[in-house]
Amino acid sequence: MSKSKVKEVRRLESLKTYDIINSPDEQSYNELTRLAATLCQMPVSFISFIDEDKQWFKSFYGLNIKQTPKEDSFCKFTISQNRDFFEVSNTFKDNRFINNPFVQQKESPIRYYFGIKLYDKKQNVLGTLCVVDFKPNSLSASRKQSMRYLANQVMNLLELRKSLQSLNGIKKSLEQKNKELKQFANQVSHDIKMPLANIVLTIDLLKAKYQENIDDTGKNYLNYLKSSGLKLSAYTERVLSYYAREEEAHNEMQIVDFNYLLEDIIDLLQINQPCEINIPEKNTQILTNKVLLEQILLNLLGNSLKYNDKPKIVIDIKIKEDDLNYLITVTDNGMGIATNKQKDVFKLFFTEEKQDRNGNKGTGIGLPTVQKLVKQLGGEVCLESEENKYTSVSFTLKKVIDNGI
């Protein structure tokens, strides 16, 4: 294959990546052709792209035409020239165009043409920015340079359009993968939960029916199996909760009494160790999704209880508000988090490899779930901690305007 054919193949391959042929009309391109015509004082201006067999016009000022056969195109000469532009001062005196249908037409025959190349990043010539007159004419050097500036802006628009299309494609792909992942998480959760429930139930039945025939070692094994089954069931629920509730952020909004919600959560946690939990003195009413807020606080308070090695657990819960947001902070006197690990604690499944108060290792699901749910409610979350001293997690909730509050 000759060099010219290789060059043409690469040009056409590049043009296809922009997906510009037959694209809808766009005002930003129309403004550039209007500007080119005004700048050069010409009645016609257009942006064209040339594929294998046709010249297609992305924007046309002064005439209404969408495409022409490639063999009738002036711009095929522009893209094949070594120079940056191609100019025909008088088509009636140029043998290349004397028989061109646009020169021979009775109404508004083309007498003057100026076209400048549109280059991609690899210097492939994709098309042209052109001006046309119905009488012989010429352009000054300064106007030719101005046309180069405008051609650069055409390519900037084209590159931006290509980037946006790529991002939209990536976004759709990620949305589809996320949807599939949620479906997978739900299916796995369902498939695991039932067998686990059967295992736990079977263990209880074995202990009840054969209790007198099982020695202490056997009972310990059964207790261990039941404990492991319950832990795996809880882990499955936490994984599911991370991928669930995606659509709930703006649904089921209701007024939540913050202190009453805290009291319900504290009762739910069934704390059986020395613990002091300080809640705000003044109750605050929040318009939000109660289920999501409850899940956030359950995770934070649960972490404060589990990852605490002090004889007495102390947890302080505070809430502040301004015109736009609520700021909720949960601080404990627990194990703390090493400085070099703090940037990773919101990554799914990341753990510090520490054992909690009961000798169990974490799953790395709690804080990522908190961050995800907070974002769904329009807020942000941050963490401060000093190892062996404290951990403080703060998150914001956007205020929802409601005349009823």
Higher pLDDT, 230 or 68: 68
CATH architecture, domain 3-168: 2-Layer Sandwich (3.30)
Residue 288 tokens, joined: 């939000």
Averaged pLDDT of the chain: 89
Q: Contact 225/199 with Cβ under 8 angstroms?
A: yes
Percent of the chain with pLDDT over 90: 59
Whether the Cβ atoms of residue 275 and residue 305 lie closer than 8 Å to each other? yes
Q: Would you state the torsion angle of the CA atoms of residues 353, 357, 358, 361, taken in this order, to the nearest 10 degrees?
A: -10
Q: Please determine, for residue 175, whether its predicted confidence score (pLDDT) is greater than 90.
A: no
- Neighbouring CB atoms inside 10 A of 317's CB total 22
Strands annotated E in 125-177 = 125-133
Q: How many residues does the chain have?
A: 405
Q: What is the pLDDT of residues 11-49, one digit of tens each?
A: 999 999 999 999 999 999 999 999 999 999 999 999 999
Q: Please state which of the ranges 5-9, 267-271, 335-339 shows the lowest mean pLDDT.
A: 267-271
Mean per-residue pLDDT, 196-225: 85
Q: Please, which residues have CB within 8 angstroms of residue 290's CB and are 6 or more apart in sequence?
A: 252, 254, 256, 261
Question: What's the pLDDT at 405?
Answer: 45
Q: Mean pLDDT, to the nearest integer, of 221-239?
A: 76
Q: Of the given ranges (110-119, 151-160, 236-245, 299-308), which has the lowest mean pLDDT?
A: 236-245
| Type of residue numbered 173 | S
Could you tell me the residue ranges of all domains in the chain? 3-168, 251-398
Q: Is the pLDDT of residue 178 over 80?
A: no
Tell me the per-residue pLDDT of 281-306, one tens digit each, with 9 for 90 and over. Answer: 999 999 998 888 988 998 999 999 99
pLDDT per residue over 305-319, tens digit each? 999 999 999 999 999
Give the model's pLDDT for residue 292: 87
Q: Per the confidence metrics, is the pTM higher than 0.75? A: no
**Picking from 107-121, 237-251, 254-268, which range would have the lowest pLDDT averaged per residue?**
237-251
Beta carbons of 61 and 96 less than 8 angstroms apart: no
Taking the C-alpha atoms of residue 78 and residue 140, their distance in angstroms, rounded to an integer, is 18
251-398 adopts what CATH topology?
Heat Shock Protein 90 (3.30.565)
